Structure 1
Amino acid sequence: MTPRDDVDQIMTIMAAAFDPAYGEAWTRRQVEDALLMGNCHAYLAAPDGAPVSEHERAVGFSLSRTGFEEEELLLFGVIPEYRNCGVGKAILSALRAAAHSRGARRLLLEMRRGNPAERLYRTIGFSVIGERRDYYRTPVGTRIDAITFACEIT
């Protein structure tokens, strides 16, 4: 797949997976710009959670950024009809392995309070390390707390 195909698939998944009421989806330009940096990585998952092959349709993705001994999960999404089927867990397991190979000792992520993905994050070992009150603002102006999570990579 070409990087353009990857971005096309990420945008398609994001449109299906992210609730527009929260304004969390990135623009195509934001995704492209992130991927131009050498320390950002995309993972596209097939319906079985494995890396998507050249002619397969992706049903989930992650976008992460590597820093000194840390990897930050920037975006993560799974098309709704593939949720609770192991795809999200497979994506996060692949992220953990890839981050470890890049020298990361822990994974970080930040999410809005009430995000249903919290259950999955906790299941695979993420725990709360911080909170930002009223950090996010929805398109209609509602304020929502941000929760920061970390997961040690062993």
Structure 2
Amino acid sequence: MADFTIRPALPADGAFLADMVVEAANWRAGATRPRPAVLTDPVHSAYISGWQRPADRGVVAIGHDGTPVGAAWYRLFGADRPAYGFVATGVPELIIGVKPMWRAQGVGRALLRELTAAARAEGFARLALSVEHGNFALELYRSEGFGVVASTPTRDTMVRALR
């Protein structure tokens, strides 16, 4: 396991969360979704716009040198403005991103577990996410109790019961 710590996400972490949205969108090796294209996409930008709203919660992984290496957070979306993993009003959607050199070292799993515990502590019954087909993180999500509830030609929506 890599040497990192996890702390709560702060309002000042908005720029780093934007970086992690870009990392999440570019999960494939050699992916070429440019930062401006990702951050101007209405759905991707919804994951970070106005961070930190009252119901937003997140965690940030900090590497041994003190720099952030990954983050996971959740937001609530309405049926009138759903994000990729929207399942219902009142079900937060999780977003997670890890810098490439820190992937497959336990960072994503640790972030996911911390955020799941936070959602449970906040009283949420379920947590949702969206994952593109072929993304290796699908196995992580399955191993942490998420199951596919909907599928499109390019992505799956997954949900985990928290109670």
Q: Identify whether the pair has TM-score above 0.5, normalized to the shorter chain.
A: yes
Cα-to-partner distance string for 1:89-124 (whole Å, 9 max, x where unaligned):
000001111001111111111122112211111111
> What secondary structure sits across from 2:92 in the alignment?
strand
Which runs of 5 or more structure 1 residues have no equivalent in the other structure? Answer: 49-54, 134-144
Tell whether the 8 Å contact from 1:131 to 1:148 is kept in structure 2 after alignment: yes
Which runs of 5 or more structure 2 residues have no equivalent in the other structure? Answer: 1-8, 77-88
2:158 is aligned with 1:149: yes
Query: 1:66-81 alignment to 2 at 5 Å?
Result: 66=76, 68=90, 70-73=91-94, 75-81=95-101
Query: 1:1-150 alignment to 2 at 5 Å?
Result: 3-4=11-12, 6-16=13-23, 18-19=25-26, 20-21=31-32, 25-27=38-40, 30=46, 32-47=48-63, 56-66=66-76, 68=90, 70-73=91-94, 75-133=95-153, 145-150=154-159
**C-alpha separation between the residues in 1 aligned to 2:10 and 2:120?**
25
**C-alpha separation between the residues in 2 aligned to 1:39 and 1:78?**
23
**C-alpha separation between the residues in 1 aligned to 2:99 and 2:160?**
24
- How many matched pairs? 134
Q: CA RMSD in A?
A: 2.9
Tell whether the 8 Å contact from 1:64 to 1:72 is kept in structure 2 after alignment: yes
Change (3 A) 1:22 1:128: farther
Change (3 A) 1:83 1:127: same
**C-alpha separation between the residues in 2 aligned to 1:122 and 1:17?**
17
**C-alpha separation between the residues in 2 aligned to 1:34 and 1:96?**
22
Query: Structure 1 segments of 4 or more deviating over 3 A?
Result: 11-18, 20-32
| Correspondence for 1:141 | none
